[in-house]
Amino acid sequence: MRRGAAGRFTHAQSSRVLGVAALVTLALGNLVLWIAAAPPGEPTGRFIGEMLGAEAVLLFSCALVLATILPAIERAFGGLDRVALWHRRMAEAGVLLLVPHIALATSAPDRYATSAGPGLGDVALLGLGVLALWALAPSLRASRWPGVIQRMARASYERWLTAHRLTGVFVIVAVAHGALVDPVLHRSTPLKVVFLTVGAIGTFAYLYRELLARYFIPRYEYSVSHVRRLNSNALAVALEPTGEPLEFAPGQFVFVELGGPGAWERHPFSVSSSPRQRRLELTIKASGDYTRELFDKLAPGVPAKLAGPFGGFDYHEGGREQVWIAGGIGVTPFMSWIRSIDAGFDRDVSFYYSVAHPDDALYIDEIRAVAAQHPSLRVHLVCAETDGRLTPAQVLGAVPAAVSPWVYMCGPPPMMKSFTKALHAAGVARSRLRWEQFGGR
């Protein structure tokens, strides 16, 4: 492993508590401040509504700060995938708070309701509501919703991401709305200062992410040296550094911009090669407009820019008895692990590789070859077409009853959520369940 990569996430399990604790403290602290600094004479219903609106702005601002992908934030949550998870939770909670905010804030008349503020509130509500619905659309059952929801669910990741980047604009509009119409803020200087400070931090985070981040995040110059199509919709892309190579730990991912098809669009991909190799390999599935174009047109010689590495998916943090679960293209970070195994490998691992069809089992021969050299790595290929779907019961059935394993998973989000719930219900501690979030939304 190259200098600086080993041990980078040794304390990720404990450090992720720091990030969550900070969010909870901020959210509760804001509510306590509002209650303590409440101006006298405010109608109770309206005050609660305005308080919930201010809390929503705080949660949205936290989501924008998390989106900056700053290294300190990543360390505080134990990996960028966890940051993404809490980014989404903050945004969803903010949208939910807007419902009682609207109902209660308008329950009593106030003299500021005739300004331009209410119109700004409508714009913010509509924009944030649509973006939240779009983010949730893939998890909704299409048959129960109108056609527009179905179209949102089928929209490519690239289109959704472009629209999602407008979130900060609507949060800024919401801050302006509150500053203009909230009668509580007009009567309480401490609450107004805190509200505007929170809004300013969220605004700065958004502007940094959109305009300045590219100048502060280290970038590495590479060139596509080889493209190998693994099956009908996945390819392995080998990248050769043209300058200083990027250092990473097995299981991490990078943001990649390619200069060929879809020139210089930025997308995250897990690294599937070992850090011991100078050449860096990515495994890409053609699942959207951009990746399909890469599959069809990407060729050697195309320049590439890499930013990172990110992520804390590291089996070294776990104990000796482990279960690895890969679903489809989710095998990618595990390949980096497997290709990094050496004589010092001291884990006892049951590796379940779940695919829909035999042709989807990427790298299976290489995986089995490594397992043949390391008997403590036992490989179980489960093909839904011939064996049925992999179930949590199958996984636990291979683990002795007296053993509480560490479980590492990467695959489609619905599969990961289902397995997490079932494994926890079966007695696996949440602290021992670790998954790599690779769903786009």
Final residue before a domain boundary, out of 310, 335, 353: 310
Of 335, 328, 332, the residue nearest 268 (C-alpha): 332
Final residue before a domain boundary, out of 310, 343, 367: 310
Does 3 fall in a domain?
A: no
Q: Tokens at residue 111, please?
A: 């003299």
Asked if the model's pLDDT at residue 5 lies above 70, the reply is no
Percentage of the chain surpassing pLDDT 70? 87
Q: Band of the pLDDT at 170, cuts 50, 70, 90?
A: very high
Q: Tokens at residue 70, please?
A: 């700053």
Torsion of CA 47, 53, 54, 58, to 10 degrees: 150
Does 1 fall in a domain?
A: no
- Residue 322 DSSP code: E
Does 47 fall in a domain?
A: yes
- Angle formed at CA 170 by CA 166 and CA 174, multiple of 5 degrees: 165
Final residue before a domain boundary, out of 216, 240, 261: 216
Which of the two residues, 376 and 137, has the higher pLDDT score? Answer: 376
Percentage of the chain surpassing pLDDT 90? 49
Q: Band of the pLDDT at 301, cuts 50, 70, 90?
A: very high
Which of the two residues, 281 and 219, has the higher pLDDT score? Answer: 281
Sign of the torsion angle spanned by Cα atoms 51, 174, 80, 360: positive
Q: Band of the pLDDT at 9, cuts 50, 70, 90?
A: very low
Does 298 fall in a domain?
A: yes
- Give the pLDDT of residue 267: 85
- Give the pLDDT of residue 144: 59
Asked if residue 195 and residue 98 are part of one domain, the reply reads: yes
Count of structural domains within the chain:
3
Asked if residue 200 and residue 105 are part of one domain, the reply reads: yes
- Give the pLDDT of residue 6: 34
DSSP 272-284: -S-TT-SSEEEEE
Asked if residue 239 and residue 208 are part of one domain, the reply reads: no
Asked if residue 331 and residue 407 are part of one domain, the reply reads: yes
Asked if residue 230 and residue 212 are part of one domain, the reply reads: no
Does 263 fall in a domain?
A: yes
Q: Give the Cα separation of 64 and 200 in Å (integer).
A: 11
Residue 244 phi, psi (nearest 5):
-65, 125
The b/e string for 176-204 (b: 16+ C-beta within 10 A; e otherwise) is: bbbbbbbbbbbebeebbebbeebbeebbe
Asked if residue 277 and residue 188 are part of one domain, the reply reads: no
Does 4 fall in a domain?
A: no
What is the rounded average pLDDT of the residues 176-194? 92
Does 267 fall in a domain?
A: yes
pTM of the predicted structure, to 2 decimals: 0.78
Of 387, 439, 397, 386, the residue nearest 416 (C-alpha): 439
Asked if the model's pLDDT at residue 16 lies above 70, the reply is no
Sign of the torsion angle spanned by Cα atoms 130, 132, 136, 141: negative
Asked if residue 160 and residue 85 are part of one domain, the reply reads: yes
Segments of 334-376 assigned E as strands = 348-355
- Which CATH number belongs to the domain containing residue 401 in this structure? 3.40.50.80
Name, in order, each residue with C-beta under 8 angstroms of 20's C-beta and a sequence gap of 6 or more. 77, 86
What is the rounded average pLDDT of the residues 152-173? 80
Asked if residue 184 and residue 54 are part of one domain, the reply reads: yes
Asked if residue 70 and residue 148 are part of one domain, the reply reads: yes
Asked if residue 172 and residue 35 are part of one domain, the reply reads: yes
- 89-112 pLDDT, tens digit per residue, is 999 999 999 999 999 988 777 666
Count of other CB atoms within 10 angstroms of residue 347: 18
**How far is C-alpha 9 from the chain's CA centre?**
17
Average pLDDT, the chain: 85
Asked if residue 265 and residue 210 are part of one domain, the reply reads: no
Question: What is the domain extent for residue 324?
Answer: 316-436
Asked if residue 160 and residue 283 are part of one domain, the reply reads: no
Does 7 fall in a domain?
A: no
- Which CATH number belongs to the domain containing residue 226 in this structure? 2.40.30.10
